[in-house]
Amino acid sequence: MGHYIEVEPNVKVFVEDIGEGQPVVFIHGWPLNSKSFEMQANELALQGFRFIGIDLRGFGKSDKPWSGYDYDTQASDVKAVIDHLNLENFVLGGFSMGGPIAIRYITKYGQQGVDKLLLMAAAAPLFTQRDDFSINMKAEEVDDIIEQIKQDRPAFLAQFADMFFEQKKSDKFLHWFQMLGLEAGAHSTINAAIALRDEDLRGELAGITVPTAIFHGQKDQICAYELGEELEKQIPNSVLVPFKDSGHGINGDEPERFNTEMINFLKSSGVK
């Protein structure tokens, strides 16, 4: 079933809530929504878990206010959902942009209630290069993406779908993926891209002590595999799970292996 939850006055986010058991909270990537995890929702419910998929503000069925696309506000929206649903002993999962939002949630609100952390193709600790950080995109490349979105968002999303997956996908699947991106607000897509470009989480990783799994595609063209290696180095109780045949969309490129690894991690007592 779906809930609309007020995260601040006059801003509601949509939450998909499926199954029963230990809650697994999924935070989606840019510029998608919780429907991008539909194959995981089904598997989790079958395996005795409760799938909680949040549409971040600006995306999917959620309200699309003008502002609030920085990680602090997005993390505060996640907190509002967790509090409203009285979730305890939950797993926090973040895909792509959802990865740094999950990390920022822990930085801001602590690990109380968080059983495990699952980072999937995470855009962390940084999405763009700095003078002292040479991994992934340059800031100007994100500026170019923003320009393309302003000029022809549907065309950009079609091209983005091609970059997203390593394995061949049907035209129908790519069209569906493009439609998920079109459900977002144009301004939301742009403002969240600015957050991706500018936010820096390098100082926030050492304090994460919950068991953490880092799923990352070795052929990822959007969040380089080296980002996953960097996260494993800096998060104390973490394990990196490489997906050698995957690009960015690991749950679409290797869906069976993704679900198997996900369920194994959820059912394990830890990672080390």
Residues annotated catalytic, as ranges: 96, 220, 248
The rounded distance, in Å, linking the Cα atoms of 185 and 198 is 20
Residue linked to tokens 């989606």: 28
The rounded distance, in Å, linking the Cα atoms of 153 and 70 is 21
Q: Do 77 and 7 meet the contact criterion of CB atoms below 8 Å apart? A: yes
Question: How many CB atoms neighbour CB 256 within 10 A?
Answer: 9
Q: How far is the CA of 245 from the CAs of 13, 165, 168, 249, in angstroms?
A: 34, 10, 11, 11
- Residue 71, both tokens: 């990680």
- Residue 74, both tokens: 């997005």
The rounded distance, in Å, linking the Cα atoms of 164 and 182 is 16
Q: Taking Cα atoms as reference points, which of 195, 167, 248, 254 lies closest to residue 71? A: 195
- Beta bridge partners, 12, equal 6
Q: Do 217 and 166 meet the contact criterion of CB atoms below 8 Å apart? A: yes
Dihedral in degrees, nearest 10, Cα atoms 81, 83, 88, 94? 30
- Beta bridge partners, 51, equal 18, 24
What residue type is 131 in one-letter code? Answer: D
